[in-house]
Amino acid sequence: MSFDERGNWVFGVVTLCSTAAYFGWLLMHAPGSPVAEVQYQVPMLVAIGGSIIAGILGTIPLALIWREDCDKRDQRDKEIGRFGNHVGNSLVVVGAAAALFMAMAAVDHFWIANMIYACCAAGGILGSITKGLAYRGAFQRW
């Protein structure tokens, strides 16, 4: 397993956990009032910042354990990374377009922000899954 593949799994798990924690927190604080009235800004920023920090802290042990593999990237790693990023970024584009239309329709900021966050997180998770499957041979062979 290459260093990039290990890092990809860390990224996918961290993104999935932070997104689930955020939306779980959001739903826990919504009973009895409309969900759009929940103060979401700080928890969303904590989820985003926490996932960045957790991704970095999760990758450091990998770099220490497999020190010799950190600098080794072959053509296959680069192509898998590019392919997974293209697939994941497609959801980011969909989320940006949806948020744009929601803003034009004067939808509440809560829904626009959560649409952007959900699509970015889903894009990251989808890209990570795509890369994982590509590393396991489910896609084109290089």
The answer for residues whose C-beta is within 8 angstroms of residue 41's C-beta and 6 or more apart is 113
Please answer whether residues 78 and 125 qualify as being in contact, where contact means their C-beta atoms are separated by less than 8 angstroms.
no
Report pTM. Answer: 0.85
Please answer whether residues 55 and 11 qualify as being in contact, where contact means their C-beta atoms are separated by less than 8 angstroms.
yes
Euclidean distance between CA atoms 62 and 99, whole angstroms: 36
For the stretch 30-81, pLDDT in tens is 887 788 888 999 999 999 999 999 999 988 887 787 677 666 777 888 888 8
For the stretch 119-138, pLDDT in tens is 999 999 999 999 989 888 86
